[in-house]
Amino acid sequence: MRATSLAATLVGILLTCTAHPSTAQDEGKTAAAELASASRAALTQLTASVPLAKSLAPTAHAILVFPKVTKAGLGIGGQYGEGTLLKKGKAVAYYKTTGAAVGIQVGAQQYGYAMFFMNAKALTQLDNANGFEVGVGPSVVMVDDGMAKTTTTSTLKDDIYAFPFGQKGLMASIGLQGNKISKITPK
């Protein structure tokens, strides 16, 4: 019963953020220094544990890291997280990721993900006036554990590679399709 109540509360909070963009559109909830530090730490941990991420990092035009995304659902679900765009290790911009879904879903989880932008053209799509929607525009390849272990950088030719990490919680699946990424000004 408590898990259901917690999930319902989280869904309400997340839907408020995603359904009413004016409440969270331009201003973030996290201080810039804290968000940049958490993003760098998450990227360091990812590249230390996933050789493919380590290989891509030096050749990526930029890396957008969301160190913590919270996702919850009880029939209707939502998610929210904030991240940092890093170029050569320096924070150059801040973004939020939001999403909503309807379907058979119950639970809550937290996870992070990093998007490796391999060229300038893919990166320009990120600042589209309407926000960047995953699954629309440049190709985004979701790199799971199996792909990360069997792929080399010489076979990679896509615009953006997304690596999920640190999944914790009760929801079994993660999908980035339909996520909207928009620029924010940190707190």
pLDDT for 134 equals 62
Domain that holds residue 48: 2-184
Query: Which pLDDT score is estimated for 118?
Result: 92
With 90 as the cut, is the pLDDT of residue 21 above it?
no
Structural domain tally of the chain? 1
Q: Which residues contact 26 (CB under 8 A, 6 or more apart)?
A: 184, 185
Nearest to 115 by CA among 65, 59, 56: 65
Section 27-46 average pLDDT? 94
Q: Please, which pLDDT band fits residue 27 given cuts at 50, 70 and 90? A: confident
Q: What is the structure's pLDDT at 179?
A: 79
SS3 31: coil
Residue (of 21, 132, 15, 134) closest to 78 by Cα position: 15
88 contact partners, CB below 8 Å, separation of at least 6: none
Which pTM was predicted?
A: 0.77
